[in-house]
Chain A
């Protein structure tokens, strides 16, 4: 039974070597980068937008109880229900009970990372409910029985040919692999589901406290249909999703659209405040918001890392991450991948279990630069590493190695001595032709690099020769 760390190493190694996979991802990233570049022109001051978003989320998260209560009051005033779920189990149970009580046979679901987090779809299916993922990317990976590959574009690892084959097998009516045609096939297949489902389930991008509105953004319109046609609408959201006021969305919506997909703004930015109103002609009869804790209040209690809760789940950090670009989304093996996942998973799932993700980074900082709410992601990775060394399991050999390292670095003579011995050994080994063989002392390095030239003399030795003792 392998650990998540071992699985990760295996998957990452496989994917890193898969050139076809790397090429597919790179194509997607090229499109993304070009789009982000173009949409930058709409911002007079992009940095000011990021700073404003940071301040909006800081305000919301640092007064979380107040804003959540305000949100709850408004929703309930309009006849909606608000359920506070402490754990994934708690949240699942609420939704499955609701479905059972109402004889729900079919659910249409729009993309929601938090519903993945609590494994809601599987639980409903076990209960005999048919769940249709309606976000095209989610639908594709659901048909393939895979987890989503990426926060924003769950199927970006697949080519159109692969998707065409999939649809041909599962849906029928496929005439070509033209993306336009494939989308039409998906639309036809899901339309019936929209009009017949008893329950629609969604996530929420934001919970607007002051007006009591749930903000839901999609490009496809599936979130709109799922919150308009079925009799019951359930929205699941992490407690950290609050923002103070509706007006905050004027800067949030264009900023998140750029970071997420390089668009000026998403197609459907919806605000929902409750079930169908007394004078309204359609809409769900029941509206439920499930607020999920599941470890978030613990992260809230850590002032150093609290800002990780500012995340608006745009996926920009994944898009710019060179590790992601080479290993892809499935390698992480977690609901949340990429830089945000590497920072978050130790908090949501345990440090021992997920510390390896925080180490699987070169700390390049591209994620921090890309984050539209200015989360200092790579610094948090460093903090996770520090926390892992302090309180989680690290290999004994590693702990010893760094003790030796410290001893060596505390004196220039011992450092120079250790250095010259090492270089002497390497020069001897390479002189005997052992470079890149199993006997190469630098084998972990030379497995994937050409053997380096090892100098005969160190800088300090050469300097001394040139300048005498300093």
Chain B
């Protein structure tokens, strides 16, 4: 927006600068350098515990081949209809192992359609502290992780980090916040407590979040 179209901008900035000429007091003792959160000793164990608490289905497999089979099992359990899949080599090569006849829309064709029954994507990282999945718009686009009733995440153990600090460090290292217009930390399936403050699963996002986690890492892609 050109400055001429937003004359308020300079006025607001001038008021802010004028206001800040006087400093406001800070209070309390400076935050200790000790840990705020209890340290995560066993990320793998912690991740599974958190997933069971936040109702993320966590399926552990030995390798990507076994992951393909696990995905197939999930697909067999959901309603027939189109599925939306991130167009990535790891997922392309899983297709032969999935139930035949499933209509697949790839992310390279655009976003998921209203009728999608499930979406399948990779992830940027898994976070043990909260049992979360960090995705980005590179993981099949923005809508991929929210548009369908079921979201399946295909991940590998080397993507698991202990806590949120480590997750942000990993994203920054890969410049994920620069190359993606969206990042999202997903913890459990969509939910709401708006009715009598009682937690109900499956609001507007997916009702089921499934993480298929292969123990054996695969070579880094490209």
Contact = CB atoms under 8 A, between A and B. Distances in A.
Query: Touch between A and B in complex, CB under 8 Å?
Result: yes
A301 B19 contact: yes
B22 A221 contact: no
B16 to A, nearest CB: 5
B194 A213 contact: no
B24 interface: yes
Given A191-B114, A219-B192, A254 B177 contact: no
Interface string B186-199: 11111111111110
A58 B26 contact: yes
Contacts of B107: 281-282
B186 to A, nearest CB: 6
A253 B185 contact: yes
A85 B190 contact: no
B183 A225 contact: no
A31 B195 contact: no
B43 interface: no
A221 B183 contact: no
Nearest to B32: A48
Contact of B204 (A86, A134, A158): A134
Interface stretch (A117-125, A264-272, A421-429, A459-467): A264-272
Contact of B193 (A159, A222, A261, A306): A261
B168 A249 contact: yes
Contacts of A222: 203-205
Contact of A179 (B16, B27, B169, B198): B198
Contacts of A374: 27-28
A256 B158 CA distance: 29
Contact of A86 (B11, B18, B130, B202): B11
B219 interface: no
Contacts of A275: 181
**What interface size band does chain B fall in?**
35 or more
B102 interface: no
Q: How large is the interface on A (under 10, 10 to 19, 20 to 34, 35 or more residues)?
A: 35 or more
A51 B142 contact: no
Contacts of A64: 16, 20
Contacts of A246: 168, 171-172, 177
A113 to B, nearest CB: 15
Contacts of A382: none
A272 B181 contact: yes
Contacts of B15: 293, 297-298, 300-301
Contacts of B168: 246-247, 249-250
B181 A221 contact: no
Most buried by A among B16, B164, B180, B195: B195
A55 interface: yes
B195 A183 contact: yes
A159 B205 contact: no
Contact of A45 (B35, B137, B138, B169): B35
Interface string A296-315: 01101101101100000000
B165 A247 contact: yes
A156 B184 contact: no
A413 interface: no
A274 B16 CA distance: 25
B67 interface: no
A277 interface: yes
Interface stretch (B58-66, B89-97, B143-151): B143-151
A160 interface: yes
A273 B192 CA distance: 26
Contacts of B182: 227-228, 270-273, 283
B140 A84 contact: no
Given A44-B39, A154-B194, 11 more contacts: A28-B197, A48-B36, A58-B24, A84-B8, A239-B16, A264-B50, A277-B181, A282-B107, A283-B181, A293-B15, A303-B25
18 contacts: A27-B197, A31-B196, A51-B28, A54-B26, A69-B13, A86-B11, A156-B194, A158-B196, A160-B195, A160-B196, A179-B195, A213-B183, A247-B165, A264-B130, A267-B188, A282-B144, A297-B19, A303-B22
Interface of A: 24, 27-28, 31-32, 42-45, 48-52, 54-55, 58, 61-65, 68-69, 78, 81-86, 90, 134-137, 140, 153-156, 158-160, 163, 179-180, 182-184, 186-187, 190-192, 194-195, 211, 213, 219-222, 224-225, 227-229, 239, 246-247, 249-251, 253-254, 261, 264-277, 280-283, 287, 291, 293, 297-298, 300-301, 303-304, 306-307, 374, 376
